[in-house]
């Protein structure tokens, strides 16, 4: 039976149905692949209800605090973070977050920090904690799953920590990662993927990348050098060899190195009876080319420079879950600073690097020029204030020098008067005796 043609109204309904199904499928795909924001903290009003200050070091008077502020210079004074104060303290703060695992998905940890102070020596890193933690007793000894962020001390230490915990042991990254040291806001981003590869971004620019396998000494290496291997006897590592077809010219060895100078002439004053038979001086023979050597040609049997081969490491045992942290339950700051004043902000834990980049674009890229201007203006005010204080100090010093000079002159006059009185007193006694 032949297919019957569909009426125009039926065609329209069919098209609408297909379009509806397509939209539903796209919506499902988008919803299933949407980024999950596990935790995001911009430190708006009420932030203290989400964060717990530890009592660690409080009884010793060494526990610091956090001020809710945008700092001394900011693009937007209303965009506040938390700033460490006072100096020479431990700053310990943690927040409980929805428990999550990074198994089979990407982990993104990101935050911003601004070192407003001349930090001298102190940390600015962030931690992820797993398992139960008594937040009021959280300390530097509390185990963590990941530590990430800058640490500055003197002129030598300006590193970016990246410490990964595996089976209860902490492993620092082997690479030398450097942090920013100016007094402006910077975003630090760590990305860990299910294939155990990672990236470190600073202000949305990739600073470093690699793998947990190669950049940490967590597992034994997959490959090792065969230290007992020896170069095969027939291994030819000569890149060039003598040309076997090149033959030394006949009579080459009889070519003299020197010959009599054909331009030399016997002096007119030469007397053979007295001077002997005249012989012209010797000069280098231009026909002599040195000891004969055959030409060099490419060695057809050249195998390259022999290198110790790599072999499978018998001690290597892969862990496909190497990248998987223990289920994370807390995010925390635990740092010591000689000089306080660091502003922490914009904490983000998610599984989408693109969303993290978008946050940096919206905050840092948009505001960096305005923040620079605010910083430069604050520097002008600081330098002007320092100059006023320096001028006051100079004036005070001059006043004290004048006072010391007046006192010295006064004391000298008094000593002179005392000597005068004593002399006259002695003269009067002598006169009385007479």
**What is the C-alpha to C-alpha distance for residues 16 and 19, in angstroms, rounded to an integer?**
5
**What is the C-alpha to C-alpha distance for residues 344 and 144, in angstroms, rounded to an integer?**
19
**Structure confidence at residue 430 (pLDDT):** 54
**Structure confidence at residue 428 (pLDDT):** 59
Statement: residue 94 has pLDDT above 70: yes
**Structure confidence at residue 66 (pLDDT):** 97
Cβ neighbours around 355 below 10 Å, total: 17
Instruction: Give the chain's mean pLDDT.
Output: 89
Helical (H) or strand (E) element with 411: helix 366-433
Question: What percentage of residues in the chain have a pLDDT greater than 90?
Answer: 71
- Smallest CA-to-CA distance from 353 within 99, 38, 106 is with 106
**What is the C-alpha to C-alpha distance for residues 251 and 321, in angstroms, rounded to an integer?**
77
More confident residue, 398 or 127: 127
DSSP 8-state symbol, 63 = B
**Structure confidence at residue 405 (pLDDT):** 74
Q: How confident is the model at residue 422 (pLDDT cuts 50, 70, 90)?
A: confident
pLDDT tens, residue by residue, 174-187:
999 999 999 999 99
Structure tokens at 388: 């006023």
Contact 153, 350 (CB under 8 A): no
Q: Is 15 annotated as a binding residue?
A: no
Question: What percentage of residues in the chain have a pLDDT greater than 70?
Answer: 89
**Structure confidence at residue 434 (pLDDT):** 55
DSSP 8-state symbol, 35 = -
Q: How confident is the model at residue 426 (pLDDT cuts 50, 70, 90)?
A: low
Average pLDDT of span 299-307? 94
- Smallest CA-to-CA distance from 192 within 325, 307, 53 is with 325
Handedness of CA 358, 144, 330, 105 (dihedral sign): positive
Instruction: Tell which CATH architecture fits domain 37-217+321-367.
Output: Sandwich (2.60)
**Structure confidence at residue 27 (pLDDT):** 46
Distance, first Cα to last Cα, the chain: 170
pLDDT tens, residue by residue, 208-267:
999 999 999 999 999 999 989 999 999 999 999 999 999 999 988 889 999 999 999 999
Q: By CB neighbour count within 10 A (0-12 exposed, 13-18 middle, 19+ buried), where does 141 fall?
A: exposed
**Structure confidence at residue 412 (pLDDT):** 75
**Structure confidence at residue 124 (pLDDT):** 96
Statement: residue 117 has pLDDT above 50: yes
Structure tokens at 251: 């009579």
Q: Is 127 annotated as a binding residue?
A: yes
**Structure confidence at residue 375 (pLDDT):** 93
What is the residue extent of each domain of the chain?
A: 37-217+321-367
**Structure confidence at residue 417 (pLDDT):** 78
**Structure confidence at residue 272 (pLDDT):** 87
Handedness of CA 306, 312, 316, 319 (dihedral sign): positive
**Structure confidence at residue 414 (pLDDT):** 76
Q: Is 125 annotated as a binding residue?
A: yes
Average pLDDT of span 75-97? 96
Structure tokens at 165: 């915990």
pLDDT tens, residue by residue, 28-79:
444 445 679 999 999 999 999 999 999 999 999 999 999 999 999 999 999 9
Average pLDDT of span 326-351? 97
pLDDT tens, residue by residue, 118-172:
888 999 999 999 999 999 999 999 999 999 999 999 888 899 999 999 999 999 9
**Structure confidence at residue 30 (pLDDT):** 46
- Smallest CA-to-CA distance from 150 within 108, 191, 121 is with 121
Q: Is 144 annotated as a binding residue?
A: yes
**Structure confidence at residue 32 (pLDDT):** 41
């Amino acid at each position: 039976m032949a297919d019957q043609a569909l009426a125009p109204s039926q065609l329209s309904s069919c098209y609408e149905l297909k379009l509806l199904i397509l939209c539903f499928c796209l919506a499902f795909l988008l919803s299933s692949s949407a980024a999950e924001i596990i935790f995001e903290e911009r430190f708006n009003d009420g932030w203290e209800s989400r964060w717990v200050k530890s009592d660690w070091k409080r009884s010793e008077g060494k526990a610091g605090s956090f001020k809710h502020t945008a700092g001394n210079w900011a693009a937007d004074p209303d965009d506040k973070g938390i700033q460490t104060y006072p100096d020479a303290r431990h700053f310990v703060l943690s927040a409980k977050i929805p428990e999550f695992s990074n198994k089979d998905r990407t982990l993104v940890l990101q935050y911003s920090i601004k070192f407003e102070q001349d930090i001298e020596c102190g940390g600015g890193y962030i931690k992820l904690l797993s398992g139960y933690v008594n937040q009021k007793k959280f300390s530097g000894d509390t185990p963590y799953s990941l530590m990430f962020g800058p640490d500055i001390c003197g002129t030598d230490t300006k590193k970016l920590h990246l410490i990964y915990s595996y089976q209860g042991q902490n492993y620092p990254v082997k690479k030398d990662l450097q942090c920013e040291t100016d007094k402006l806001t910077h975003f630090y981003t760590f990305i860990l993927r299910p294939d155990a590869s990672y990236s470190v971004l600073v202000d949305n620019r990739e600073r470093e990348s690699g793998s947990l396998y190669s950049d940490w000494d967590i597992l034994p290496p997959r490959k090792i050098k065969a230290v007992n291997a020896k170069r095969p006897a027939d291994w030819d590592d000569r890149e060039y060899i003598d040309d076997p077809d090149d033959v030394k010219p006949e009579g080459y060895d009889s070519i003299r190195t020197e010959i009599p100078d054909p331009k030399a002439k016997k002096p007119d004053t030469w007397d053979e009876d007295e001077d002997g038979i005249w012989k012209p001086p010797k000069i280098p023979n231009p026909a002599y080319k040195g000891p004969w050597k055959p030409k060099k040609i490419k060695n057809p049997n050249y195998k390259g420079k022999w290198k110790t081969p790599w072999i499978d490491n018998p001690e290597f045992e892969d862990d496909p879950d190497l990248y998987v942290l223990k289920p994370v339950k807390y995010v925390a700051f635990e740092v010591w600073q000689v000089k306080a004043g660091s502003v922490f902000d914009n904490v983000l834990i998610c599984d989408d690097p693109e969303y993290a980049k978008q946050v940096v674009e919206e905050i840092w890229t948009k505001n960096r020029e305005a923040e620079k201007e605010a910083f430069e203006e604050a520097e002008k005010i600081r330098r002007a204030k320092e100059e006023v204080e320096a001028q006051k100090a100079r004036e005070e010093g001059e006043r004290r020098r004048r006072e010391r000079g007046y006192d010295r002159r006064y004391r000298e006059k008094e000593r002179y008067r005392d000597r005068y009185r004593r002399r006259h007193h002695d003269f009067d006694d002598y006169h009385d005796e007479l």
